[in-house]
Amino acid sequence: MTAGDRPGGTAHGVVEIYTDGACSGNPGPGGWGAVLQYGDRAKELWGGEAEATTNNRMELMAAIKALEGLSRRSKVRLHTDSSYLRNGITGWLASWKRNGWKTASKQPVKNEDLWRRLDAAAGKHEVDWLWVKGHAGNPGNERADELANRGMAEALAASRAGRR
C-alpha cells in the first residue's frame, strides 16, 4: 500500500482527495462526500439533495466541492470511482467546450452547469484524476461513500422536518 492508497498517507506537498456520490434511485434523492488529506490534516465534506437528482450529478458535486474547498492553489490527486467523472474531465471536456457544449452526436452535454463549475474549480489547481474501483475496500473511497450516504440522509431528514 502506498501513501496515496489510504487516508492519512499523502505524498509530500500533495492533497489527496477521495470523492463519491450516492443516489437512492436514479433519479432520486442523492448525496456527495469528499475526504481531503494533506499531511496529517484531514477534512471531510458532505451534502445532499432531497429532490430528485442523479448519481452522475452527485459524483460531479463531490469533486466540485472538494476542489472549491481548497484555500490555495494545490497539487491534487483526486480519486474517484466514477468513470463518468474521470473520462469527462480528462477526455470529453475539451471537445465539449470546442463544440459549444455539444456532444459528438450534436446533443447538449448533460450536466453542463456542473461540468462548467468543475472545469473552473479544477483550473485553479494541478489535478491528477485517478480512478479507483468502488466498494473494493479502499479506505478513502469507502469513507467518501459513507459521507455521500450521510449527505443524502441529512438532506432527506431536513426535507421531512421542513414539511411538518
Catalytic residue numbers read 20-21, 59, 81, 135, 145
Given strand 126-131, what is the order of strands in its sheet?
41-53, 28-38, 14-23, 75-80, 126-131
Distance separating the N- and C-terminal Cα atoms of the chain: 49
CA angle 114–45–91, rounded 5-degree value: 35
Cα angle, residue 15 at apex, residues 12 and 20 outer, rounded to 5°: 145
